[in-house]
Structure 1
Amino acid sequence: MKRNYSVLLVIVGAVLWAASNVANAIQPRKPNVAASSWILMDYETGNVIMEEAADEPLPPASLTKMMTSYIIADQLHKGNISLEDQVLISKNAWAQNPKLRGGSLMFVEVNKYVSVDDLHRGIVVQSGNDASIAMAEHIAGSEEAFADLMNQYAKRLGMNSTHFMNSTGLPDENHISTARDLAKLARALIADFPEDYSLYAEREFTYNGITQKNRNELLGDTTLGVDGIKTGHTEEAGYCLVSSAEKQGMRLISVVLGADSMGTRASESRKLLNFGFRFYTNVKAFAAGKALNQAQVWKGEEEKVAVGLAQDAVLTVLKSEKDELKANYKLNGKLMAPIKKGQVVGEVYFNMGDTVVKRLPMVALDNVEEAGFFGRMWDSMALWFED
């Protein structure tokens, strides 16, 4: 077979939809949000739709318990603890008097045994500080050791602006997080432990004859499909709410920090979620494993290799601009055999007008073995003349 040594164009434009004038697209004004810091993120893509002061370090109050719950779920799934484990309530866990320290309780009793299942619900639904400390001690031996564990988990999840000092969110000047980090945590909680995440939709929980309602004001909002996540409040933090809602196949995560009342945190969260659902959509541009091009291979048994994406390319865009999305891809120079399936060989990048909105690695979709001696020599000569 005659070998083709024509130069592969390094940059090739691929129009996903018929392009129109970006300047003419309808651009809705972003809402004014009455909070110190906030963010709206798409769950599937992790794309931030809008934000304000999302990297400002602030006290997270009881939103902290999202991490406490995340660790409990992780330990359950690893088999290190079980829902049937009986946890002895220490005096330290019991003595979380809200009049002295602030916060909410599950109302466990000192020196009594409580199941992990009940304590987990007491943390998620009732936001119990006593339950949080009891589980921290059960998992790590002490709350101080558990806080160190929390910080290790935060680092793993990319929560780079977060530092935990306790399992509850009670005030400490070194206990901080950001709206962006809390959105990352919420996304991980839903993705990694969906069965445990279902606890966040429970409206109330009864323990020791005391029924307490979930403080999330948006639960049960049929217009939004809110099924979580967590409220928080201290004098230092103000009123905080992390929300997640699913509507017409799209899930959004909103974080509102530092609102001035329970009503405000609910209304501003509702405002963000409504805006996201009304004006944004997710577009699946390319499927994983689909060949986007055939790239020239040098010194290989095959002349070309199919290239594409290792993961689906899904982008969150304005509904009014989805027809203007374009994809371009480029190779990382000339491809030399041997090439392994899944090897990164270039990049696919997506443009909205002149702005790059997403980049993904492009990979080889097949193996290409190295050619024999004469094939390699022939290609070496061709490359010499090309250069």
Structure 2
Amino acid sequence: MDRRTVLRATVLGAGTATFAGALWQQAFAAVAQPGPSPYGALLAADANGIQLPAGFTSRVVARSGQRVGGTSYVWHRAPDGGACFAAGTGWIYVSNSEIPLTGGASAIRFAADASIVSAYRILGGTNVNCAGGATPWGTWLSCEEVPLGRVFETWPDGSRTAEERTRMGRFTHEAAACDPHRQVVYLTEDEPDGCFYRFVPDTWGDLRTGRVQVLCAPADQVAGPVTWRDVPDRDGVPIPTRLQVGAAKHFNGGEGCWYDRGTCWFTTKGDNRVWAYDAVNQRIDLAYDDDLVPAGTAPLTGVDNITGTGGGDLYVAEDGGNLEINIITPAGVVAPMLRIVGQDGSEITGPAFSPDGRRLYFSSQRGISGASSGSGGITYEVTGPFRS
């Protein structure tokens, strides 16, 4: 019996899982399946090389190594994880730089009419800043994707100098997602045997002190209850954090992470899965697995960064595949929402919606050139009738 057959039997045999989170509005007995997009089919590529549904348009807002339009600021190489923050009548889009030693993060500030007001650095001198996450108090957590990597708390408006948050654990950090109801921060780890963590601060809103815990469950479990245990040594020396708790469940290459109303969604690139952690009932389930759709029909592969909307849709970016952002609807349909053509050597990073939900920002990390240095990175904006 092959892996696909075993997984299908395991997941379906687990019965119908009911998610507490509002992103999944109904119970389901299987993972998301391919279907028609609520936006319709993708049209031919536009002048920016983006295939979009009818009614949507794209523009380039920044290119690595070039000045951001209307400013003197040179955009960073290898743009990666990102998020949007309200700022007066406009908003700010922040983006990490996934390059060694000088990585950091930058920001672009937009006016209410989406014109660019300014661009600037909010973090520098850090190492391979991959993904991260926004906090409810308006800061951006920028994470280093290296062994013994750190988390830095940054201020999108540039009003304060970034601060190191090493009490959140030293490991190969990827993404972070805040759960204000349980007052914890979920953290993914980009290792083939990585773990899924949560940071429990002593005081919510202050990430300087607290405990790091790791999710524990049987190794082969894809649906069912889980527990959390403290990590004895968050500094990971000499034993890496992922190896300190014997009962810890290991995930194949943790990537994006997104929390909304009781559910934390996270992705694993090694097995092309989207997981759902039901924080209310403390259980995990599979929301998507490319091995659990009909052979040869998986629209979503190379799962990476993830974001969501207030209406319940998830948007998952591809690192590989055919360079798409796919939508997963609350009804359990997965379909392409956009596709970048002519950039096969790149990956899509940093998807994030403007505060009003009308604009989606993301980057092609290596762009047309595909250069490993990230010198060809391009950051885009897509505008259109997104579902609220």
TM-score relative to the length of structure 1:
0.24
Q: TM-score, normalised on structure 2?
A: 0.24
Structure whose CA Rg is larger: 1
Decide which structure has greater strand share.
Answer: 2
Pick the structure with more helix per residue: 1
